[in-house]
Amino acid sequence: MTDKYEQVIELAKRRGFLWNSFELYGGTAGFYDYGPLGAMLKRRVENIWREIFVINEGYYEIESPTIGIEDVFIASGHVGGFSDPLTECQKCNEAFRADHLVGDVVDNPDTLSADDLTVVIGKHNIKCPECGGALGKVYEFNLMFKTSIGPGGKRAGYLRPETAQGMFVDFPRLLKFYRDRLPFGVTQIGKAYRNEISPRQGVIRLREFTQAEAEIFIDPRDKTHPKFSEISDIALILYSQEGQARGSSEKRTIKEAVQNGIIAHEFLGYCLARTYQFLIRVGVSPEKLRFRQHMKDEMAHYAVDCWDAEIQSDRFGWVEVVGIADRTDYDLKAHAKQSETELNVHVSYDKPVRIERFAVKPNMGILGPRFKGKAGKIANALKLLKSEDLSGEIIEVVVDGEVIQVDRGAVSFENISEEVHGETIIPHVIEPSFGIDRITYSLLEHSYFEEEAKAEEEEEEGKRIVLRLPPEVAPVQAAVLPLLTRNELINPANEIVKALRKAGILVTFDDAGTVGRRYRRNDEIGTPFSITVDYQTLEDGTVTIRDRDTMKQVRACIDGIEDNIYDLIYRGKSFDEAGRKV
RNA sequence: GCACCGAUGGUCUAGUGGCUAUGACUUUAGCCUUCCAAGCUAAUAACUCGGGUUCAAAUCCCGAUCGGUGCACCA
């Protein structure tokens, strides 16, 4: 039975949207080429994303390397956590997660290395759960592609598994760029790589894919959004944690959802709404789009709240295409620790605050000669003491597990009153992360229609395949067709092509075969408008414009046709306004 | 990575241990044609790859690759 996926992929292959990569050499799973129409479609999707997140929100785009150094992915957790310890049965060859198998005999299997796990399996005589056969050596399968930087292979490099880390790593520079003020956002559209064990589901799970991500750094104490009112009335289909427990989703406005605590805060709600607007605009069907909240155990431990935009696909069911998470200060803290660099922001108070505090001043002139190398640590420990700790003649502090006694005379202290102008905070990160390939596939699927088309005076019905892509994402935006293959019609058609190209409209010219066949050809690739030059054109300088979806036609002047088409594509001009009815 | 199933022009497909490997659609060239594909003429174009069995393999066997399904995996 052919399902919609097959139909869409067949069309995509045949007409130059999507091709299996390296087909010449037999192909490789998990890689797809975008053909001429697919690449243009994807580019238009990306550009609408830019319009919304870069231009409208002011989150500038950066571009960081697709190869990252090891430190970056140690900090992000991908080196340690992005791999799974696997072991295979020597008898039936079934693969298992080694850490899962030893869960009953060890308390903390996550912390064990592959070698440790091999030892544990041997010691406890753990056998294959399927057939009872012996288990092989445990090995780490890391989902990152590894490479080496420079000659000698000494320095490890990894193809990035997400674009996000490049933006976290640039945090100090970005903070300066945005002149030390929160909130600010930064975006990146680019390739990411994951060496999937077994990629299936065609274009849904790729080893190389395109992400569009925004990292928005906000003040953790203020998760409201200044433009919240612009979107608060938008209603989304929400599949919340409670909804999933009940097994039903519900439609709610963003405002309601935030007020009722379903969505954690305004900022996240705002991102959900903009995501919705983006997806609808590029051609996802609203009824096949929902927002699913991560369950508590599914969410990363540091995340406050996380929502996935999911699109319904005929074959694959609900497919995650966007993840929107409040990642708190996790990433910045992790990179701060790994790089031993502070990653924070000084936030000024509206008015300086006067505070009283107790200050301990160790006398380094005494401590230094006496304690030598330990003096610094001792001084820091002393500074943390409270006034009641300093009452005796001998003061005790614990440094590295050792109790140190310090003479009272080596320490002075006082109550200080000072003005504080602000404080240092680590921003929280809101991260909407888009899978551009999945979105591009989804909108092909949602745009794909087969209909029984019947010419008015014909008896027989034929199948019409039409991609109802929104005009602004359609790879080919207009087709210019002389009604017949005659020079007197071809010449004015060429003039129209020239005018449209000058206006930045991607246009094709086609004079092969009957005009009906050419309309169908263009329907199939989603060309929204066809302009036909006929004999009346020669008399009064008008042409017909045909609408892909309704197959209706209007007559309009050649003069100004480029503005007419431009307005139809980009300015939401209705087709009826484009000319007079035929 | 395992198991099962599959792989024939661009697309879909027929087919058999043996002649030049079906057919349709598409495409190209030309004819025809005054608005919704498949009217005429012609042309182009395929047995996934490697090995084996055989006089002979696209066909049988083995392996690989890719695709589908199930298991496992999916930050």
- The domain that holds A378 is classified in CATH as 3.30.720
Q: Which of residues 290-349 of A touch strand B (CB under 7 A)?
A: 300, 315, 323
Q: Measured from the CB, is A95 under 7 Å from any atom of strand B?
A: yes
Q: Which of residues 18-57 of A touch strand B (CB under 7 A)?
A: 20, 26-30
Q: Which of residues 538-557 of A touch strand B (CB under 7 A)?
A: 543-544, 546, 551-553
Within a domain: residue A340? no
Q: Are A543 and A523 in contact (CB under 8 A)?
A: no
Got the DSSP string for A323-346?
EEEEEETHHHHHHHHHHT----EE
Within a domain: residue A21? yes
End-to-end CA distance of chain A: 41
Q: Which of residues 142-161 of A touch strand B (CB under 7 A)?
A: 143, 161
Q: Of A436, A464, A490, at which residue does a domain stop?
A: A436
- Rounded Cα–Cα distance for residues A359 and A414 (Å): 5
Within a domain: residue A501? yes
Structure tokens that stand for A8 in this block? 């869409």
Q: Are A442 and A311 in contact (CB under 8 A)?
A: yes
Structure tokens that stand for A178 in this block? 């945005």
Within a domain: residue A418? yes
Distance A1 CA to B47 C1' (A): 24
Provide the pairing of β-strand A529-533 with A478-482: parallel
A371 plus A490 within the same structural domain: no
- Rounded Cα–Cα distance for residues A490 and A36 (Å): 25
3-state secondary structure at position A191: strand
A208 plus A289 within the same structural domain: yes
Q: What's the pLDDT score for residue A1? A: 47
Q: Return the CATH number at A128.
A: 3.30.40.230
Distance A81 CA to B72 C1' (A): 18
A247 plus A183 within the same structural domain: yes
Within a domain: residue A455? no
State the DSSP H helix or E strand holding residue A524, giving kind and residue range, or none if neither: helix A515-525
- Rounded Cα–Cα distance for residues A524 and A537 (Å): 27
Structure tokens that stand for A19 in this block? 């091709």
Tens of each residue's pLDDT in chain A, 582 residues: 468 888 899 899 999 999 988 888 888 889 999 999 999 999 999 999 999 999 999 999 999 999 998 888 888 888 876 766 777 666 555 566 676 666 666 666 666 667 777 777 777 777 766 556 677 777 767 788 888 888 777 788 899 999 999 999 999 899 989 988 889 999 999 999 998 877 878 888 899 999 999 999 999 999 999 999 999 999 999 999 999 988 889 999 999 999 999 999 999 999 999 999 999 999 999 999 999 999 887 787 778 899 999 999 988 889 999 999 999 999 998 888 888 888 888 888 877 777 777 777 777 777 777 777 777 777 777 767 777 777 777 777 777 777 777 777 777 777 777 777 778 889 999 999 999 999 999 999 999 998 876 554 444 456 789 999 999 999 999 999 999 988 889 999 999 999 999 999 999 999 988 899 999 999 999 999 999 999 999 999 999 999 999 999 999 999 999 999 999 999 999 999 999 988
Q: Return the CATH number at A57.
A: 3.30.930.10
Got the DSSP string for A54-82?
IIIT--EE----SEEEHHHHHHHTHHHHS
Q: Measured from the CB, is A196 under 7 Å from any atom of strand B?
A: yes
Please state the domain count of chain A.
4
Q: What's the pLDDT score for residue A136? A: 72
Range of the domain at A134: 83-142
A157 plus A235 within the same structural domain: yes
A206 plus A248 within the same structural domain: yes
A191 plus A315 within the same structural domain: yes
Got the DSSP string for A467-507?
E---TTT-SS-EEEEESSS-HHHHHHHHHHHHHHHHTT--E
Q: Which segments within A60-168 are labelled E, that is strand?
A: 60-61, 67-69, 83-88, 95-97, 139-142, 146-149, 155-159
Q: Of A113, A142, A171, at which residue does a domain stop?
A: A142
Q: What's the pLDDT score for residue A571? A: 95
A506 plus A418 within the same structural domain: no
Within a domain: residue A502? yes
Got the DSSP string for A395-454?
EEEEETTEEEEEEGGGEEEEEEEEEEEEEEEPPEEEEEEEEHHHHHHHHHHHHEEEEEE-
Q: What's the pLDDT score for residue A387? A: 72
Q: Are A447 and A10 in contact (CB under 8 A)?
A: no
Minimum-distance residue to B72 (CA–C1')? A95
Q: What's the pLDDT score for residue A265? A: 94
- Rounded Cα–Cα distance for residues A411 and A24 (Å): 78
A24 plus A168 within the same structural domain: yes
Structure tokens that stand for A267 in this block? 């900022």
A31 plus A170 within the same structural domain: yes
CB atoms within 10 A of CB A22: 11
What Rg value do the Cα atoms of chain A yield, rounded?
32
3-state secondary structure at position A575: helix
Q: Are A344 and A441 in contact (CB under 8 A)?
A: no
A132 plus A153 within the same structural domain: no
Distance A123 CA to B6 C1' (A): 44
A16 plus A54 within the same structural domain: yes
**Which contacts (CB < 8 Å, 24+ apart) does range A116-124 have?**
A117/A85, A117/A87, A118/A87, A121/A87
Q: Are A479 and A531 in contact (CB under 8 A)?
A: yes
- Comparing CA positions, the residue from A215, A133, A206, A117 lying closest to residue A166 is A215
Q: Note the helical H segments in A250-358.
A: 254-259, 266-282, 330-339
- Rounded Cα–Cα distance for residues A233 and A406 (Å): 65
Q: Of A423, A455, A486, at which residue does a domain stop?
A: A423
Distance A84 CA to B55 C1' (A): 55
Q: What's the pLDDT score for residue A92? A: 53
Within a domain: residue A38? yes
CB atoms within 10 A of CB A387: 11
Within a domain: residue A19? yes
Torsion, Cα A570 A575 A579 A582, to 10 degrees, reads: 150
A248 plus A135 within the same structural domain: no
Q: What's the pLDDT score for residue A95? A: 63
